[in-house]
Protein backbone atom coordinates (compact mmCIF):
# COMPACT_ATOMS: atom_id res chain seq x y z
CA UNK A 1 0.00 0.00 0.00
CA UNK A 2 1.52 3.29 -1.11
CA UNK A 3 1.53 6.20 1.32
CA UNK A 4 -0.01 9.58 0.55
CA UNK A 5 3.47 11.05 0.37
CA UNK A 6 4.53 8.52 -2.27
CA UNK A 7 1.40 9.26 -4.32
CA UNK A 8 2.14 12.97 -4.19
CA UNK A 9 5.58 12.17 -5.57
CA UNK A 10 4.10 10.18 -8.46
CA UNK A 11 1.55 12.84 -9.35
CA UNK A 12 4.21 15.52 -8.93
CA UNK A 13 6.39 13.88 -11.58
CA UNK A 14 3.68 14.25 -14.20
CA UNK A 15 2.75 17.70 -12.99
CA UNK A 16 6.35 18.70 -13.71
CA UNK A 17 6.13 17.09 -17.16
CA UNK A 18 2.81 18.85 -17.79
CA UNK A 19 4.22 22.32 -17.11
CA UNK A 20 7.87 21.59 -18.02
CA UNK A 21 8.15 24.04 -20.92
CA UNK A 22 6.27 26.80 -19.08
CA UNK A 23 8.34 26.38 -15.91
CA UNK A 24 11.63 26.22 -17.80
CA UNK A 25 10.74 29.30 -19.85
CA UNK A 26 9.76 31.27 -16.73
CA UNK A 27 12.82 30.28 -14.70
CA UNK A 28 15.55 28.15 -16.33
CA UNK A 29 16.15 24.86 -14.46
CA UNK A 30 13.04 25.32 -12.30
CA UNK A 31 11.74 21.85 -13.31
CA UNK A 32 14.94 20.28 -11.94
CA UNK A 33 14.51 22.12 -8.65
CA UNK A 34 10.93 20.85 -8.46
CA UNK A 35 12.07 17.26 -9.09
CA UNK A 36 14.69 17.51 -6.33
CA UNK A 37 12.02 18.86 -3.98
CA UNK A 38 9.76 15.90 -4.79
CA UNK A 39 12.60 13.48 -4.08
CA UNK A 40 13.34 15.09 -0.71
CA UNK A 41 9.71 15.37 0.40
CA UNK A 42 8.21 12.17 -0.99
CA UNK A 43 10.87 9.55 -0.25
CA UNK A 44 12.82 8.46 2.78
CA UNK A 45 16.22 10.00 2.15
CA UNK A 46 18.08 7.24 3.96
CA UNK A 47 16.42 4.65 1.71
CA UNK A 48 17.26 6.26 -1.63
CA UNK A 49 18.77 3.63 -3.91
CA UNK A 50 21.46 4.16 -6.52
CA UNK A 51 21.35 1.95 -9.59
CA UNK A 52 24.77 0.34 -9.96
CA UNK A 53 24.55 0.07 -13.75
CA UNK A 54 23.65 3.76 -13.96
CA UNK A 55 26.70 4.64 -11.86
CA UNK A 56 28.89 2.62 -14.24
CA UNK A 57 27.42 4.51 -17.20
CA UNK A 58 28.13 7.84 -15.48
CA UNK A 59 31.68 6.68 -14.73
CA UNK A 60 32.25 5.93 -18.42
CA UNK A 61 30.73 9.27 -19.45
CA UNK A 62 32.85 11.24 -16.98
CA UNK A 63 36.05 9.39 -17.96
CA UNK A 64 35.44 9.95 -21.66
CA UNK A 65 34.54 13.59 -20.95
CA UNK A 66 37.72 14.23 -18.97
CA UNK A 67 39.83 12.88 -21.84
CA UNK A 68 38.03 15.25 -24.21
CA UNK A 69 38.61 18.19 -21.85
CA UNK A 70 42.33 17.47 -22.13
CA UNK A 71 41.97 17.28 -25.92
CA UNK A 72 40.13 20.60 -26.00
CA UNK A 73 36.84 19.21 -27.34
CA UNK A 74 34.80 19.57 -24.14
CA UNK A 75 34.79 21.83 -21.09
CA UNK A 76 34.31 21.05 -17.40
CA UNK A 77 31.22 23.27 -17.23
CA UNK A 78 29.45 21.59 -20.14
CA UNK A 79 30.29 18.10 -18.89
CA UNK A 80 29.26 18.83 -15.30
CA UNK A 81 25.98 20.46 -16.36
CA UNK A 82 24.84 17.40 -18.29
CA UNK A 83 26.07 14.85 -15.74
CA UNK A 84 24.29 16.66 -12.90
CA UNK A 85 21.03 17.09 -14.86
CA UNK A 86 20.92 13.45 -15.98
CA UNK A 87 21.85 12.16 -12.52
CA UNK A 88 19.21 14.28 -10.76
CA UNK A 89 16.52 13.06 -13.13
CA UNK A 90 17.50 9.39 -13.05
CA UNK A 91 17.91 9.13 -9.26
CA UNK A 92 14.69 11.06 -8.59
CA UNK A 93 12.53 9.25 -11.12
CA UNK A 94 13.94 5.83 -10.28
CA UNK A 95 13.14 6.24 -6.60
CA UNK A 96 9.83 8.06 -6.97
CA UNK A 97 8.30 5.37 -9.22
CA UNK A 98 9.77 2.44 -7.28
CA UNK A 99 6.69 1.77 -5.04
CA UNK A 100 4.27 1.66 -7.99
CA UNK A 101 3.34 -0.87 -10.65
CA UNK A 102 3.64 0.04 -14.35
CA UNK A 103 -0.17 0.27 -14.56
CA UNK A 104 -0.33 2.73 -11.66
CA UNK A 105 2.41 4.88 -13.18
CA UNK A 106 0.92 4.91 -16.66
CA UNK A 107 -2.59 5.59 -15.35
CA UNK A 108 -1.37 8.91 -13.94
CA UNK A 109 0.54 9.62 -17.15
CA UNK A 110 -2.59 8.87 -19.20
CA UNK A 111 -4.58 11.50 -17.31
CA UNK A 112 -1.82 14.05 -17.87
CA UNK A 113 -1.80 13.21 -21.59
CA UNK A 114 -5.60 13.51 -21.78
CA UNK A 115 -5.68 16.97 -20.23
CA UNK A 116 -2.76 18.12 -22.34
CA UNK A 117 -4.74 16.98 -25.40
CA UNK A 118 -7.93 18.71 -24.17
CA UNK A 119 -6.07 22.00 -23.72
CA UNK A 120 -4.67 21.69 -27.24
CA UNK A 121 -8.06 21.01 -28.80
CA UNK A 122 -9.63 23.91 -26.86
CA UNK A 123 -6.78 26.04 -28.14
CA UNK A 124 -7.66 25.06 -31.72
CA UNK A 125 -11.35 25.78 -31.24
CA UNK A 126 -10.73 29.20 -29.70
CA UNK A 127 -8.21 30.17 -32.37
CA UNK A 128 -10.92 29.76 -35.01
CA UNK A 129 -12.77 32.67 -33.38
CA UNK A 130 -10.03 34.99 -34.62
CA UNK A 131 -10.45 37.03 -31.45
CA UNK A 132 -7.07 38.06 -29.97
CA UNK A 133 -8.57 38.68 -26.52
CA UNK A 134 -9.54 34.99 -26.41
CA UNK A 135 -6.79 33.29 -28.38
CA UNK A 136 -3.94 35.12 -26.63
CA UNK A 137 -4.72 34.02 -23.11
CA UNK A 138 -1.40 33.94 -21.21
CA UNK A 139 0.23 30.67 -20.10
CA UNK A 140 -2.51 28.27 -21.13
CA UNK A 141 -2.58 28.88 -24.85
CA UNK A 142 0.76 28.75 -26.59
CA UNK A 143 -0.61 28.58 -30.14
CA UNK A 144 -0.03 32.29 -30.64
CA UNK A 145 3.64 31.84 -29.77
CA UNK A 146 4.04 29.22 -32.49
CA UNK A 147 1.47 30.50 -35.01
CA UNK A 148 1.60 27.44 -37.24
CA UNK A 149 -1.48 26.49 -39.24
CA UNK A 150 -2.50 23.70 -41.60
CA UNK A 151 -5.45 24.86 -43.64
CA UNK A 152 -7.95 26.44 -41.22
CA UNK A 153 -6.56 24.60 -38.17
CA UNK A 154 -3.65 25.48 -35.89
CA UNK A 155 -0.91 22.98 -35.32
CA UNK A 156 -1.59 21.99 -31.73
CA UNK A 157 1.11 22.78 -29.19
CA UNK A 158 -1.01 22.89 -26.00
CA UNK A 159 1.32 23.75 -23.09
CA UNK A 160 4.38 22.63 -25.02
CA UNK A 161 6.93 24.85 -26.72
CA UNK A 162 6.08 23.57 -30.19
CA UNK A 163 3.83 20.95 -31.86
CA UNK A 164 6.50 18.24 -32.08
CA UNK A 165 7.01 18.45 -28.29
CA UNK A 166 3.30 17.78 -27.82
CA UNK A 167 3.77 14.77 -30.10
CA UNK A 168 6.49 13.40 -27.81
CA UNK A 169 4.33 13.99 -24.74
CA UNK A 170 1.34 12.12 -26.18
CA UNK A 171 3.17 9.34 -28.06
CA UNK A 172 3.25 6.66 -25.32
CA UNK A 173 -0.47 7.18 -24.63
CA UNK A 174 -1.26 6.86 -28.33
CA UNK A 175 0.70 3.60 -28.51
CA UNK A 176 -1.08 2.24 -25.42
CA UNK A 177 -4.45 3.09 -26.97
CA UNK A 178 -3.57 1.46 -30.30
CA UNK A 179 -2.09 -1.54 -28.50
CA UNK A 180 -5.38 -2.14 -26.70
CA UNK A 181 -7.03 -2.48 -30.13
CA UNK A 182 -4.29 -4.35 -31.98
CA UNK A 183 -2.61 -6.56 -29.36
CA UNK A 184 -5.09 -6.89 -26.46
CA UNK A 185 -3.35 -10.13 -25.50
CA UNK A 186 -0.20 -8.11 -24.74
CA UNK A 187 -1.99 -5.31 -22.89
CA UNK A 188 -2.24 -4.94 -19.11
CA UNK A 189 -5.89 -5.45 -18.16
CA UNK A 190 -5.26 -3.60 -14.88
CA UNK A 191 -4.64 -0.42 -16.89
CA UNK A 192 -8.31 0.52 -16.76
CA UNK A 193 -7.84 3.95 -18.36
CA UNK A 194 -7.50 2.20 -21.72
CA UNK A 195 -11.15 1.17 -21.49
CA UNK A 196 -12.14 4.83 -21.89
CA UNK A 197 -12.40 5.14 -25.66
CA UNK A 198 -13.45 8.80 -25.48
CA UNK A 199 -10.22 9.83 -23.76
CA UNK A 200 -8.21 7.69 -26.15
CA UNK A 201 -9.81 9.31 -29.20
CA UNK A 202 -9.17 12.81 -27.79
CA UNK A 203 -5.49 11.96 -27.24
CA UNK A 204 -5.16 10.45 -30.73
CA UNK A 205 -6.94 13.43 -32.33
CA UNK A 206 -4.65 15.93 -30.60
CA UNK A 207 -1.61 13.87 -31.61
CA UNK A 208 -2.66 13.91 -35.27
CA UNK A 209 -3.48 17.63 -35.12
CA UNK A 210 0.09 18.47 -34.19
CA UNK A 211 0.63 17.97 -37.94
CA UNK A 212 4.18 17.11 -36.95
CA UNK A 213 6.31 14.99 -39.25
CA UNK A 214 8.03 13.39 -36.26
CA UNK A 215 4.64 12.58 -34.71
CA UNK A 216 3.55 10.89 -37.91
CA UNK A 217 6.84 9.02 -38.07
CA UNK A 218 6.20 7.95 -34.47
CA UNK A 219 2.74 6.66 -35.42
CA UNK A 220 4.29 4.49 -38.12
CA UNK A 221 6.91 3.21 -35.66
CA UNK A 222 4.20 2.31 -33.12
CA UNK A 223 2.31 0.29 -35.71
CA UNK A 224 5.48 -1.46 -36.87
CA UNK A 225 6.48 -2.41 -33.31
CA UNK A 226 2.97 -3.65 -32.53
CA UNK A 227 3.01 -5.61 -35.80
CA UNK A 228 6.32 -7.20 -34.82
CA UNK A 229 4.96 -8.27 -31.44
CA UNK A 230 1.62 -9.46 -32.81
CA UNK A 231 1.15 -13.18 -33.30
CA UNK A 232 -0.01 -14.29 -36.74
CA UNK A 233 -3.56 -13.13 -37.50
CA UNK A 234 -5.46 -11.04 -40.00
CA UNK A 235 -4.31 -7.96 -38.06
CA UNK A 236 -0.70 -8.94 -38.77
CA UNK A 237 -1.46 -8.64 -42.48
CA UNK A 238 -3.51 -5.44 -42.26
CA UNK A 239 -1.11 -3.33 -40.15
CA UNK A 240 1.56 -2.79 -42.88
CA UNK A 241 -1.22 -1.74 -45.25
CA UNK A 242 -2.48 0.75 -42.65
CA UNK A 243 1.03 2.24 -42.33
CA UNK A 244 1.30 2.66 -46.11
CA UNK A 245 -2.19 4.17 -46.42
CA UNK A 246 -1.61 6.58 -43.52
CA UNK A 247 1.65 7.75 -45.06
CA UNK A 248 0.00 8.29 -48.45
CA UNK A 249 -2.92 10.19 -46.89
CA UNK A 250 -0.59 12.44 -44.87
CA UNK A 251 1.77 13.00 -47.81
CA UNK A 252 -0.99 13.89 -50.24
CA UNK A 253 -3.22 15.92 -47.91
CA UNK A 254 -0.96 17.68 -45.39
CA UNK A 255 1.10 20.25 -47.26
CA UNK A 256 3.44 20.91 -44.34
CA UNK A 257 4.23 17.19 -43.99
CA UNK A 258 4.82 16.76 -47.73
CA UNK A 259 7.07 19.83 -47.83
CA UNK A 260 9.23 18.55 -44.96
CA UNK A 261 9.57 15.08 -46.48
CA UNK A 262 10.46 16.46 -49.91
CA UNK A 263 12.88 19.09 -48.62
CA UNK A 264 14.68 16.65 -46.34
CA UNK A 265 14.97 14.07 -49.13
CA UNK A 266 16.27 16.67 -51.59
CA UNK A 267 18.82 18.06 -49.14
CA UNK A 268 20.33 14.68 -48.32
CA UNK A 269 20.47 13.81 -52.01
CA UNK A 270 22.08 17.08 -53.05
CA UNK A 271 19.09 18.29 -55.07
CA UNK A 272 18.31 21.47 -53.07
CA UNK A 273 20.32 24.30 -51.61
CA UNK A 274 19.71 25.13 -47.94
CA UNK A 275 18.31 28.53 -48.87
CA UNK A 276 15.41 26.93 -50.76
CA UNK A 277 14.14 24.53 -48.07
CA UNK A 278 12.05 24.95 -44.92
CA UNK A 279 13.77 25.80 -41.66
CA UNK A 280 13.00 22.43 -40.03
CA UNK A 281 14.68 20.45 -42.82
CA UNK A 282 17.62 22.87 -42.88
CA UNK A 283 18.04 22.40 -39.12
CA UNK A 284 18.06 18.63 -39.43
CA UNK A 285 20.49 18.63 -42.32
CA UNK A 286 22.87 21.15 -40.76
CA UNK A 287 23.02 19.13 -37.55
CA UNK A 288 23.66 15.98 -39.52
CA UNK A 289 26.65 17.70 -41.10
CA UNK A 290 27.88 18.70 -37.66
CA UNK A 291 27.53 15.11 -36.40
CA UNK A 292 29.23 13.68 -39.49
CA UNK A 293 32.20 16.05 -39.40
CA UNK A 294 32.55 15.70 -35.64
CA UNK A 295 32.59 11.90 -36.04
CA UNK A 296 35.46 12.19 -38.50
CA UNK A 297 37.25 14.74 -36.30
CA UNK A 298 37.17 12.53 -33.18
CA UNK A 299 37.72 9.27 -35.12
CA UNK A 300 34.46 7.96 -33.70
CA UNK A 301 35.54 8.39 -30.07
CA UNK A 302 33.14 11.23 -29.38
CA UNK A 303 33.81 14.77 -28.17
CA UNK A 304 32.45 14.33 -24.63
CA UNK A 305 29.05 14.80 -23.02
CA UNK A 306 27.76 18.36 -23.42
CA UNK A 307 30.26 19.21 -26.15
CA UNK A 308 27.76 19.35 -29.01
CA UNK A 309 27.63 23.14 -29.04
CA UNK A 310 31.43 23.26 -29.36
CA UNK A 311 31.27 20.91 -32.35
CA UNK A 312 28.41 22.95 -33.79
CA UNK A 313 30.49 26.11 -33.63
CA UNK A 314 33.35 24.27 -35.34
CA UNK A 315 31.44 22.48 -38.12
CA UNK A 316 28.16 24.33 -38.71
CA UNK A 317 27.53 24.78 -42.45
CA UNK A 318 26.18 28.36 -42.24
CA UNK A 319 22.96 30.35 -42.01
CA UNK A 320 19.52 29.55 -43.37
CA UNK A 321 18.69 31.51 -46.50
CA UNK A 322 18.82 35.24 -45.98
CA UNK A 323 17.52 35.06 -42.39
CA UNK A 324 20.91 34.93 -40.77
CA UNK A 325 19.72 32.06 -38.55
CA UNK A 326 22.72 29.84 -38.00
CA UNK A 327 22.42 28.44 -34.48
CA UNK A 328 19.46 26.08 -34.94
CA UNK A 329 19.50 23.46 -32.16
CA UNK A 330 23.09 24.37 -31.35
CA UNK A 331 22.88 22.78 -27.90
CA UNK A 332 20.90 19.58 -28.53
CA UNK A 333 21.57 18.63 -32.14
CA UNK A 334 17.87 18.24 -33.10
CA UNK A 335 18.33 14.47 -32.82
CA UNK A 336 19.47 12.15 -30.04
CA UNK A 337 21.19 10.02 -32.70
CA UNK A 338 23.24 12.98 -33.94
CA UNK A 339 24.03 14.19 -30.44
CA UNK A 340 25.03 10.81 -29.00
CA UNK A 341 27.18 10.05 -32.04
CA UNK A 342 28.89 13.44 -31.66
CA UNK A 343 29.35 13.40 -27.89
CA UNK A 344 29.74 9.73 -26.96
CA UNK A 345 30.91 8.28 -30.25
CA UNK A 346 30.42 4.78 -31.58
CA UNK A 347 30.68 3.16 -28.15
CA UNK A 348 27.98 5.42 -26.74
CA UNK A 349 25.66 4.84 -29.68
CA UNK A 350 26.14 1.07 -29.53
CA UNK A 351 25.47 1.17 -25.77
CA UNK A 352 22.15 2.93 -26.39
CA UNK A 353 21.15 0.38 -29.03
CA UNK A 354 22.16 -2.46 -26.71
CA UNK A 355 20.06 -0.95 -23.92
CA UNK A 356 16.97 -0.59 -26.12
CA UNK A 357 17.21 -4.19 -27.32
CA UNK A 358 18.30 -5.86 -24.08
CA UNK A 359 15.79 -4.13 -21.82
CA UNK A 360 12.81 -4.60 -24.11
CA UNK A 361 10.29 -6.88 -22.39
CA UNK A 362 11.29 -10.36 -23.56
CA UNK A 363 8.38 -12.48 -22.27
CA UNK A 364 5.27 -11.69 -24.32
CA UNK A 365 2.77 -10.91 -21.60
CA UNK A 366 0.70 -8.04 -20.24
CA UNK A 367 3.78 -5.87 -19.69
CA UNK A 368 4.84 -5.99 -23.35
CA UNK A 369 2.67 -3.02 -24.28
CA UNK A 370 4.66 -0.73 -21.99
CA UNK A 371 7.92 -1.63 -23.72
CA UNK A 372 6.27 -1.02 -27.10
CA UNK A 373 5.03 2.43 -26.05
CA UNK A 374 8.33 3.54 -24.57
CA UNK A 375 10.44 2.15 -27.42
CA UNK A 376 8.27 4.16 -29.84
CA UNK A 377 9.06 7.31 -27.88
CA UNK A 378 12.79 6.54 -27.77
CA UNK A 379 12.82 6.01 -31.53
CA UNK A 380 11.21 9.43 -31.98
CA UNK A 381 13.89 10.93 -29.73
CA UNK A 382 16.63 9.33 -31.79
CA UNK A 383 15.13 10.87 -34.90
CA UNK A 384 14.25 14.41 -33.77
CA UNK A 385 14.85 15.28 -30.11
CA UNK A 386 18.33 15.83 -28.76
CA UNK A 387 17.57 17.09 -25.24
CA UNK A 388 18.50 14.32 -22.79
CA UNK A 389 16.18 15.42 -19.97
CA UNK A 390 13.24 17.20 -21.61
CA UNK A 391 9.73 16.51 -20.23
CA UNK A 392 10.42 13.32 -18.38
CA UNK A 393 12.42 11.47 -21.04
CA UNK A 394 14.58 9.87 -18.35
CA UNK A 395 11.43 8.90 -16.44
CA UNK A 396 10.61 6.60 -19.34
CA UNK A 397 14.15 5.19 -19.20
CA UNK A 398 13.50 4.23 -15.57
CA UNK A 399 10.10 2.77 -16.44
CA UNK A 400 11.61 0.83 -19.37
CA UNK A 401 14.04 -0.78 -16.93
CA UNK A 402 11.28 -1.44 -14.41
CA UNK A 403 9.05 -3.15 -16.99
CA UNK A 404 11.92 -5.35 -18.20
CA UNK A 405 12.44 -6.65 -14.66
CA UNK A 406 8.79 -7.34 -13.79
CA UNK A 407 8.14 -11.01 -12.87
CA UNK A 408 6.90 -13.07 -15.80
CA UNK A 409 3.14 -13.53 -15.88
CA UNK A 410 2.09 -17.13 -15.43
CA UNK A 411 0.20 -18.93 -18.18
CA UNK A 412 -3.02 -18.98 -16.17
CA UNK A 413 -2.80 -15.19 -15.78
CA UNK A 414 -2.17 -14.72 -19.49
CA UNK A 415 -5.40 -16.52 -20.33
CA UNK A 416 -7.34 -13.87 -18.43
CA UNK A 417 -6.13 -11.10 -20.74
- Across residues 263-274, what is the average pLDDT? 74
The DSSP secondary-structure symbol of 325 reads B
Q: Domain segments of the chain: what residues?
A: 111-224
The DSSP secondary-structure symbol of 186 reads G
List, in sequence order, every residue forming a beta bridge with 103; answer none if it has no partner. Answer: none
417 or 267, greater pLDDT: 267
> In this model, does residue 416 exceed pLDDT 80?
no
89 or 318, greater pLDDT: 89
Determine the pLDDT at residue 198. Answer: 96
Q: How many CA atoms lie within 13 A of 103 on its CB side?
A: 10
28 or 67, greater pLDDT: 67
Contact 57, 354 (CB under 8 A): no
389 or 274, greater pLDDT: 389
Contact 23, 57 (CB under 8 A): no
Q: How confident is the model at residue 143 (pLDDT cuts 50, 70, 90)?
A: very low
- Residue 43 CA to its chain's centroid (Å): 26
List, in sequence order, every residue forming a beta bridge with 154; answer none if it has no partner. Answer: 149
The DSSP secondary-structure symbol of 187 reads S
Quick one: which of 284, 327, 366 has its CA closest to 292? 284
Q: How far apart are CA 266 and CA 276, in angstroms?
A: 10
Find all residues with CB under 8 Å of 96, minimum gap 6, and list them.
6, 9, 10, 12, 13, 38, 39, 42, 43
> In this model, does residue 284 exceed pLDDT 80?
yes
Is the pTM here over 0.75, yes or no? Answer: yes
Contact 155, 149 (CB under 8 A): yes
Contact 176, 110 (CB under 8 A): yes
- Across residues 397-404, what is the average pLDDT? 97
CA dihedral (144, 150, 119, 28) in degrees, to 10, reads -50
**278-284 — which CB contacts under 8 Å span 24+ positions?**
279/320, 279/323, 279/325, 279/328, 280/213, 282/320, 282/321, 282/328, 283/320, 283/328, 283/329, 283/334, 284/334, 284/335, 284/384
pLDDT per position as a tens digit, 85-140: 999 999 999 999 999 999 999 999 999 999 999 988 887 787 777 665 555 554 44
Q: What is the mean pLDDT of the chain?
A: 87
Alpha-helical (H) ranges within 183-332 are: 197-208, 213-229, 234-253, 255-268, 279-297, 308-315
Q: How confident is the model at residue 23 (pLDDT cuts 50, 70, 90)?
A: confident
pLDDT per position as a tens digit, 160-219: 888 889 999 999 999 999 999 999 999 999 999 999 999 999 999 999 999 888 999 999
Amino acid sequence: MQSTRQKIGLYGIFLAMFFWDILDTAIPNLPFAFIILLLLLCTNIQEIKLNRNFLLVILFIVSQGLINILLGNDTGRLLLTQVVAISICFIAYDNLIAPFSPAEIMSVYWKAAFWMAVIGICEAALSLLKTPAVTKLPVFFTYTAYEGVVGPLPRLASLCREPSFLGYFLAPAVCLFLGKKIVPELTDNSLKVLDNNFEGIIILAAYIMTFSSVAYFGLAIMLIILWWEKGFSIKKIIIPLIVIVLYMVAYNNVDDFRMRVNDTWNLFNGVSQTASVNFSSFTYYSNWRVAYNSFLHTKGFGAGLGSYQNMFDKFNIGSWGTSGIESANREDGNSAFFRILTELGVVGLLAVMYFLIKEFRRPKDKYTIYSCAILSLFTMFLLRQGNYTHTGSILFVCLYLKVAKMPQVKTSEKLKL
